[in-house]
Amino acid sequence: MRPKEGKRTYHSPKRDSAAGKTRARIISAANKQLRSAKGLQSLSLESVADQAGVTRLTVYNQFGSRRGLLEAVFDDVAFRGGLHRLPEALAEQDPRAALRRVVAIFCEFWYFNRRMLGQIIGAGVADSRLEAAIRARGERRRKLLAVILKRVEGAGRAPPEAFDEVVDMLFVLTSHAVFAGLADKGRSVQAVCRLVQDLAIRTLDRLDSGDD
């Protein structure tokens, strides 16, 4: 008698492809709603299902909840906005060159999604779960900045509190709020980027100069 084999899961390439296309269509529909005049206020599993031409159950099975859908949209927006280039910036061994590239990438990202991200960040003030998701993604940026700062020659000599202070300052400088505040004065994305880069480098140099 042959031994029983474990249950095998059959994957159909056509079915997987169709599911991937459906998922992409749902994310695209949610993205369009977030960029509309009503923005986040009108976003629901039902409204996205209607726009994508699928059932609410299909959206639920793909994402589980409104927050799960938003997380998927965030990932899509991050990729389309150029955040996938961040590893290239980290590959720069010179911390100042790496920081300049990170600032440029985030300036372009904030500009690419300026209206939608402003609405989402504003809505997070009244939605604790959304705020938690936004904060968690922001912490990725903070960790990335810390990695770059550790390459600064004076970082090893700086007290931990001084190092953390510089990370916090750079975290604020590379935020959506700073970009939006500078861009609202009519500056181009390139002009804003140059301003933030200069401020970021001056902040980074605090570790070398020993300022406290």
One digit per residue, the tens of pLDDT, for the chain of length 212 reads 454 555 555 556 666 677 789 999 999 998 888 777 677 777 889 999 999 999 999 999 999 988 888 888 888 888 888 899 999 999 999 999 999 999 999 999 888 877 777 767 766 666 677 777 778 888 999 999 999 999 998 788 888 999 999 999 999 999 988 998 999 888 999 999 999 999 999 999 988 765 55
Segments of the chain assigned to CATH 1.10.357.10: 81-209
Fold of 15-69: Arc Repressor Mutant, subunit A (1.10.10)
Query: Nearest 10 degrees: CA dihedral of 120, 126, 127, 130?
Result: 30
CA–chain centroid gap for 136, Å, is 10
Give the contacts of 125 (CB within 8 A, at least 6 positions apart): 131
pLDDT the model gives residue 19:
79
> What is the SS3 assignment for 154?
coil
Residue 170 region, left (φ>0) first, then alpha (ψ -120 to 50), else beta? Answer: alpha
Q: What is the pLDDT of residue 209?
A: 65
Helices 160-173 and 176-183: crossing angle, nearest 10°?
40
Q: What is the pTM of this model?
A: 0.76
- Three-point CA angle 7, 12, 14, nearest 5°: 170
Superfamily of structural domain 81-209: Tetracycline Repressor, domain 2 (1.10.357.10)
Q: Where in the chain is the domain with CATH 1.10.10?
A: 15-69
pLDDT of amino acid 107? 92
- Pick from 199, 195, 204, 189: which is nearest to 105 by CA? 189
Q: Where are the alpha helices (DSSP H) in 150-211?
A: 160-173, 176-183, 189-209
What's the one-letter identity of residue 179?
Answer: F
Q: What is the pLDDT of residue 138?
A: 86
Given this model, what pLDDT does residue 16 score?
A: 62
Q: What is the pLDDT of residue 1?
A: 47
Residue 169's pLDDT is 96
